[in-house]
Amino acid sequence: MKNSATLALFAGALLVMLSACSRESAQEEAKTGGQTTYLTVKGSDTMVHLVSTWAEEYMKTHSGMEVSVTGGGSGTGIAALINGTTDICAASREMKESERARIAQGGSQAVETVVARDGIALVVNPHNPVEELTIEQLRKIYTGAYTQWSQVGGPAQDIIVLSRESSSGTYVFFQEHVLNKEDYAQTARLMPATSAIIQAVTTDRWAIGYVGIGYAVEAGERVKIVRVKADASSPAVTPSDATVKSGEYSIARPLYLYTKGAPTGAAKGFVDFCLSAEGQRIVRETGYVPIN
């Protein structure tokens, strides 16, 4: 009898819980019309952390919204926008005219929205004694003209050059603005993601890589950020919110969200959030530079 009473009480409690859950579910469905709206954002690995944080905060205040964020590189995101497999493309470079033309062939127009700015930080292992490099020295390192750290004031050790893959917007930007559109050294190791560059620099004393400021700051003492000089007579500048905004730090670029046509519906709501005061606060807190 005692066991029967216990079971009865348990069953009653379970029914109350299920009833409460049912009421909550019904209330949620009433708010959203019982439907979930899905939004996909794909592209720049540089922007994955930022866009993911935007998505998490946006979904907290927009019930019934599911925002999916994936990386793969700016080129991958642009290709996905062209073929219709993503709603929004996140890109750390401008869309090429050939890419715009492909979207136009489908009857749409590529619309870009600048949502943040980013500085490209050069990182080395904390045990590497080199503290600063000029743009010219970086160009020679990444094109293979310099192969020893002793050529830039360091020890007689081989330079291990780390780069992103060619689908990365950061790869394209660095090639255009630092290498003067020259080819990367054949010995450069093409890494699949920014996190892979951070990990490689952390474990190899003589490696050098380029990453977004946010990733360099997040890595903390695992890496050392190299100060950059525009030329031999210029001051050495550390990438930061202030130096990127002022233009003192030269290896910086805008970050974009691209849509087919002006964003509407769920896409517009998300883009507007990214540009809002709350969205720009997230930009600063995640280590990027607000546009305002």
Do both 57 and 97 map to the same domain?
yes
Residue 106 located in a structural domain: yes
Give the pLDDT band (50/70/90) at residue 34.
Answer: low
Q: Give the pLDDT of residue 33.
A: 54
Do both 112 and 122 map to the same domain?
no
DSSP state of 289: B
As for how many domains the chain has, the answer is 2
Do both 63 and 94 map to the same domain?
yes
Is pLDDT above 70 for 32?
no
Do both 151 and 67 map to the same domain?
no
Do both 267 and 204 map to the same domain?
no
Q: Give the pLDDT of residue 14.
A: 36
Q: Which two tokens stand for residue 91?
A: 């890109």
Residue 200 located in a structural domain: yes
Q: How remote is the C-alpha of 157 from its chain's centroid? A: 32
In tens, the pLDDT along 84-110 reads 999 999 999 999 999 999 999 999 999
Residue 13 located in a structural domain: no
Residue 182 located in a structural domain: yes
Is pLDDT above 70 for 7?
no
In tens, the pLDDT along 129-160 reads 999 999 999 999 999 999 999 999 999 999 99
Residues paired with residue 191 on neighbouring β-strands, in sequence order:
164
Do both 241 and 259 map to the same domain?
no
> Three-state DSSP class for 196?
helix
Do both 247 and 262 map to the same domain?
no
Do both 72 and 97 map to the same domain?
yes
In tens, the pLDDT along 108-128 reads 999 999 999 999 999 999 999
Do both 48 and 158 map to the same domain?
no
Residue 19 located in a structural domain: no
pLDDT higher for 27 or 218?
Answer: 218
Are 156 and 149 a contacting pair, CB within 8 Å?
A: yes
Residue 2 located in a structural domain: no
Give the pLDDT band (50/70/90) at residue 214.
Answer: confident
Q: What is the mean pLDDT of residues 23-47?
A: 69
Can you give the length of the chain in residues?
292
Is pLDDT above 50 for 8?
no
CATH of the domain at 223: 3.40.190.10
Do both 243 and 164 map to the same domain?
yes
Q: What is the mean pLDDT of residues 256-282?
A: 97
Is pLDDT above 90 for 263?
yes
Q: Domain of 63?
A: 35-117+254-285
Do both 138 and 175 map to the same domain?
yes
Q: What percent of the chain has pLDDT over 70?
A: 88
Q: What is the mean pLDDT of residues 220-240?
A: 95
